């Protein structure tokens, strides 16, 4: 995410001591730092339910669940207490040759939720490490099973899969990679499923478009040589670019292609798992069974950092004999406190029926956001579950998008700050075409959908006057 600091700055230039310390010492992620040298940053102080408060007392609706993370909502004391109890009992011990109760129980629980034979859980500290682990295990799996050349990965244009050098090589965003090239070799890209822009060419036939898009994966495998391709890495709904949903038939065809060429299918569910689409794992919503799932974020609702690479029995099998093992791991992978918090979070999911809540309300959420289509600047509203994007356009009829200067003004300079000032935290983004993304905590209901729509409407009307 390119945070748009110009717009996030305070209007006054007086720093509190905390803001001055932030200016002098805090290096923010994905953020331009220069503007913070002259104007204070916003300090988020506390949060409760659907709302954040900054340290100057402004209340802000959290329309992004932090960063697609806080599924259960903010301020859940039962999760804080689960963390405290585990920290008092066993705060830390690595899963390097020893286990502890919460990691075993969480591994078993995730295996129960995951489809088919995805029973083997390798814990990480977050999503990028899970993707990195998936690529590494795919390479080693093929080395151990007599296909040592299989090492390449195919993913989609504009998709984001993390920042470590392997995960970044899977990421399909050139601007995010250029500063760090050369990256891990072996990453190849195919088209994504942006049907808003493809619909005219395909006469509105989404299934035909989906088959075409899936067949590009087969083409890439053949171009590269099937004996060199280890994995295809796809999100169920692609985040970057703005919630590209899979066309009907897309994943069935992808699964067929992966089986035909002996390529592992990795479902990167770092955003999509844990209720974002009303199920524990979103591959279930879209009717496919991957070989590996990568997940993180919502597993603990953010009350502890944790991620996982969940592999099926086939991938695990060569590691169950003799002396071969996966020489890979992280000090904080499977942290007992994060595991205990995740278990409490999943209990809360069951107790409060959060998945069903998403299934019951996703239509209302989409319908409420779709009211914005009456604005000239809104070209498309798309998504699934509690994961939606609003694509902004310069001309709705021709779907003409904004040029670089207009994007800088809209997405970098104006919208993030204006939305926050108007009381909504969400994500204006232009890694592909300009979009605003919404992914609220799963406790959101009609009142919050309406509040989001109203703030977006007022802010987009202002935005439209600028460009
Ligand atoms: N994969 C996907 C699909 C993601 O959306 C993200 C982060 O947003 C990642 C991987 C990287 O996760 P993390 O930031 O936890 O390393």
Ligand 1 neighbourhood includes 269 CB (under 6 angstroms): no
Whether residue 239 has its Cβ less than 6 Å from ligand 1 = yes
Residue 58 CB neighbours (<10 A): 14
* Ligand 1 pocket, mutate which of 294, 296, 300 (most atoms under 8 A from CB): 296
Q: In the chain, which segments carry CATH 3.40.640.10?
A: 77-352
Residue-wise pLDDT for 176-199, tens only, equals 999 999 999 999 999 999 999 999
pLDDT for the residue 39: 87
182 CA to centre of ligand 1 in angstroms: 21
Query: Distance from the CA of 307 to the center of ligand 1, in angstroms?
Result: 10
Q: What does the pLDDT look like over 275-306, one tens digit per residue?
A: 999 999 999 999 999 999 999 999 999 999 99
Containing H/E element for 61?
Answer: strand 59-62
The tokens describing 306, both together, are: 């944790």
CATH number, span 77-352: 3.40.640.10
Mean pLDDT, the chain, integer:
96
Interacting residues of 9 by C-beta distance below 8 A, sequence separation 6+: 35, 36, 39, 40, 41, 417
pLDDT the model gives residue 6: 52
- pLDDT band at 14; cut points 50, 70, 90: confident
Cα(454) to centroid of ligand 1, in Å?
A: 29
Q: What's the confidence (pLDDT) of residue 446?
A: 98
Task: Output the pLDDT for position 9.
Answer: 55
For residue 301, report the distance from its CA to the centre of ligand 1, in Å. Answer: 14
For residue 97, pLDDT beyond 70:
yes
Residue 12 confidence (pLDDT) above 70: no
The minimum-distance atom of ligand 1 relative to the CA of 167 is: 10
Minimum-distance ligand 1 atom for the alpha carbon of 240: 5
Containing H/E element for 327?
A: none
Residues in the chain: 467
Q: Where in the chain is the domain with CATH 3.90.1150.10?
A: 6-75+354-466
pLDDT band for position 10 (cuts 50, 70, 90): low
Q: In whole angstroms, what is the distance from residue 76 CA to residue 84 CA?
A: 13
Share of the chain above pLDDT 70, in %: 97
Rounded to an integer, the average pLDDT of 24-45 is: 94
Closest among 9, 10, 69, 30 to 429, alpha carbons compared: 30
Residues 309, 137 contacting (CB under 8 angstroms) = yes
Could you tell me which CATH number the domain at 6-75+354-466 has?
3.90.1150.10
Share of the chain above pLDDT 90, in %: 96
**Residues 105-125 pLDDT 10s:** 999 999 999 999 999 999 999
- Does the C-beta of 40 come closer than 6 Å to ligand 1? no
CB–CB of 319/57 below 8 Å?
no
């Amino acid at each position: 995410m390119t945070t748009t600091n110009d717009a996030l700055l305070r209007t006054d230039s007086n720093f509190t001591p905390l803001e001055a310390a932030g200016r002098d010492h805090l290096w923010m992620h994905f953020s331009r730092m220069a503007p913070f040298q002259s104007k204070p940053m916003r300090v988020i102080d506390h949060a409760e339910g659907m709302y954040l408060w900054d340290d100057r007392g402004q209340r802000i609706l959290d329309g992004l669940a932090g960063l697609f993370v806080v599924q259960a909502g903010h301020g859940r004391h039962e999760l804080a207490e689960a963390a405290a109890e585990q920290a008092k009992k066993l705060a830390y011990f690595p899963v390097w040759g020893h286990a502890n109760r919460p990691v075993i129980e969480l591994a078993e629980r995730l295996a129960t939720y995951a489809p088919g034979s995805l029973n083997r859980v390798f814990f990480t500290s977050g999503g990028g490490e899970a993707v990195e682990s998936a690529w590494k295990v795919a390479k080693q799996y093929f080395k151990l099973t007599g296909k040592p050349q299989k090492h390449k990965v195919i993913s989609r244009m504009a998709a984001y899969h993390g920042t470590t050098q392997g995960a970044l090589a899977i990421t399909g965003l050139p601007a995010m990679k250029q500063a760090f090239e050369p990256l891990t070799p072996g990453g190849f890209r195919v088209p994504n499923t942006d049907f808003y822009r493809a619909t005219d060419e395909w006469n509105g036939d989404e299934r035909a478009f989906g088959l075409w898009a899936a067949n590009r994966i087969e083409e890439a495998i053949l171009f590269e040589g099937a004996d060199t391709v280890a994995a295809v890495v796809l999100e169920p709904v692609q985040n970057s670019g703005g919630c590209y949903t899979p066309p009907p038939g897309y994943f069935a065809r992808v699964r067929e292609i992966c089986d035909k060429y002996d390529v592992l299918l990795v479902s990167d569910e770092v955003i999509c798992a844990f209720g974002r689409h009303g199920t524990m794992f979103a591959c279930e919503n879209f009717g496919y069974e991957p070989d590996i799932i990568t997940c993180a974020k919502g597993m603990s609702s953010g009350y502890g950092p944790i991620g996982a690479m969940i592999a099926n029995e086939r991938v695990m099998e060569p590691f169950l004999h003799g002396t071969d093992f996966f020489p890979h791991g992280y000090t904080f992978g499977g942290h007992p406190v994060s595991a205990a918090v995740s278990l409490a979070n999943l209990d809360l999911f069951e107790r409060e029926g959060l998945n069903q809540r998403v299934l019951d309300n996703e239509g209302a959420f989409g319908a409420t956001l779709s009211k914005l289509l009456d604005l000239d600047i809104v070209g498309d509203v798309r998504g699934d579950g509690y994961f939606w994007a609003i694509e902004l356009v310069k001309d709705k009829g021709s779907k003409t998008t904004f040029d670089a200067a207009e994007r800088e003004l809209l997405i970098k300079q104006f919208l993030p700050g204006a939305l926050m000032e108007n009381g909504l935290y969400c994500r204006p983004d232009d890694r592909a075409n300009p979009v605003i993304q919404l992914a609220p905590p799963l406790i959101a209901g009609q009142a919050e959908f309406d509040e989001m729509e109203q703030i977006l409407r007022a802010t987009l009307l202002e935005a439209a006057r600028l460009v």
